[in-house]
Amino acid sequence: MAVPAGYRERLRIEGAVLAACAVLATVAVLVAGGDEATERPWSTVIQLVVVALGMGFVGVRAVRGWVRSARAVSVDEAGTGEPTPLWHIVAIVVVLTALLAWRSWDGALHLSLGCVVVGVFQAVVFARVVAEEEVRSGRVFVRLRGSSLRSTVVGFVAGTERPQ
């Protein structure tokens, strides 16, 4: 069995798809919702700052903890390393944005812009945190089965250490 795709690559792919899909959802909300979507601009800005701060502090700390507590696993235990099916990410953004738009265009805008922030953090910041830890430890990390929205289980395949 081949060595699975690394956790850093998963973060980049999934984050980029989330951000791109959310940008499209934002444009759709702005076009369809018109002035109602931009009624409370300060509320939108404050909420996005809160999301960014949360991702910057709590998110980065969580990712660092996950990779630092990674354990050695066999290739079989590591699985494929493939990212979440990308259509799942698209479906989540589309469904949640549509549900919120039905109730409030402003709320739909908050959600879609929040997803942009989360996607960018995942693809850029979190992937960089993993890359830095890979350089520091000389390991290639993989996301393992058993991961959830609350916690990610990370391991490394013995023998996949990067040369220092």
DSSP 6-64: PHHHHHHHHHHHHHHHHHHHHHHHHHHHHHHHTS-HHHHHHHHHHHHHHIIIIIHHHHH
Kindly state the average pLDDT of the residues 36-58.
Answer: 92
DSSP 8-state secondary structure symbol assigned to residue 58: I
Structure pTM?
0.87
* Local confidence band at 163 (pLDDT 50, 70, 90 cut-offs): very low
Q: For the chain, give every domain's residue range.
A: 7-157
What token pair was written down for 159? 């023998």
* Local confidence band at 158 (pLDDT 50, 70, 90 cut-offs): low
Which range among 26-30, 37-41, 47-51, 88-92 shows the weakest confidence by mean pLDDT?
37-41
Mean of per-residue pLDDT scores for the chain: 87
